[in-house]
Amino acid sequence: MKETASAGSVDNELVRRFVDGDRSAFEELVVRHQNRVYGFCLRLLGSPSLAEEAAQEVLVKVFKYLPRFRGESKFTTWLYRVTLNHCRNVQAYRARRHDKRHDSLDAETTDDEGSTRRRELADDRPDAEEDLLLAERLRMMKEELAKLDPIWKEILLLRDVEGQSYEEIGNALDLPPGTVKSRIHRARGELKTRLKRRIKT
């Protein structure tokens, strides 16, 4: 989910209004970013139900903690950081509880985004076959992405799905620039390797 510079200034203004007491500004922020937060949660956690819970909790946290946001980074960077921290906590909690909700991850995830793809492919364009190949490739990629170690998955989502810059990723993940560079490349390599292995099998 790419964003523009003007989008960042709109966010800044909404944040300012909210901190000044304008609750409607918070609603606007939620409307603007709920897809981003939910989508990020969905891809990190896998399950739509988990993602929805997490997204709601994240956005409530945003309400509570936004006054503490100092504006030293972009709002979206701060938002990703809040979301990441929350999802990490969810994953850690579920790991301790041996939560099995992830069992249906693939199916749910596929359904969730698959419906979008099916709509996209519903038309009868001449390049529909090509689209089908792309759809299959994306499906495999999504599944392999979901299986990646969180350390790689997080940074890949931020960089290649969410379109965050290296600097923003460093801020979101609290990593030095050199680590961001090497980790992005390594993460892509991990995913590429998994895809190749899958295609072979």
Task: Determine the Cα–Cα distance for residues 80 and 15; give it in Å rounded to an integer.
Answer: 15
Instruction: CB nearer to another protein: give 56 or 104.
Output: 56
Asked if 193 and 183 touch (Cβ cutoff 8 Å), the reply is no
Q: Is residue 143 involved in binding another protein (CB under 8 A)?
A: no
- Min dist CB 9 to another protein, Å, is 21
Task: Give the SS3 label for residue 176.
Answer: coil
- Min dist CB 187 to another protein, Å, is 9
- Min dist CB 131 to another protein, Å, is 11
Q: Is residue 153 involved in binding another protein (CB under 8 A)?
A: no
Q: Is residue 132 involved in binding another protein (CB under 8 A)?
A: no
- Percent helix, strand and coil across the chain, each to the nearest 5: 85, 0, 15
Q: Is residue 75 involved in binding another protein (CB under 8 A)?
A: no
Q: CA of 106: how far to CAs of 18, 59, 151, 153, in Å?
A: 38, 25, 20, 15
User: Of 5, 31, 122, 199, which lies in the binding site for another protein, with binding defined by CB under 8 A?
Assistant: 31
Burial of 29 (0-12, 13-18, 19+ CB in 10 A): buried
Asked if 183 and 151 touch (Cβ cutoff 8 Å), the reply is yes
Query: Residues in the site for another protein, rule: CB under 8 A?
Result: 1, 18-19, 21-24, 26-27, 30-31, 34-35, 37-39, 42-43, 48-49, 52-53, 55-56, 59-60, 63-64, 67, 112-113, 116-117, 120, 134, 137-138, 141-142, 145, 156, 159-161, 163, 166, 181-182, 184-185, 188, 191-192, 195
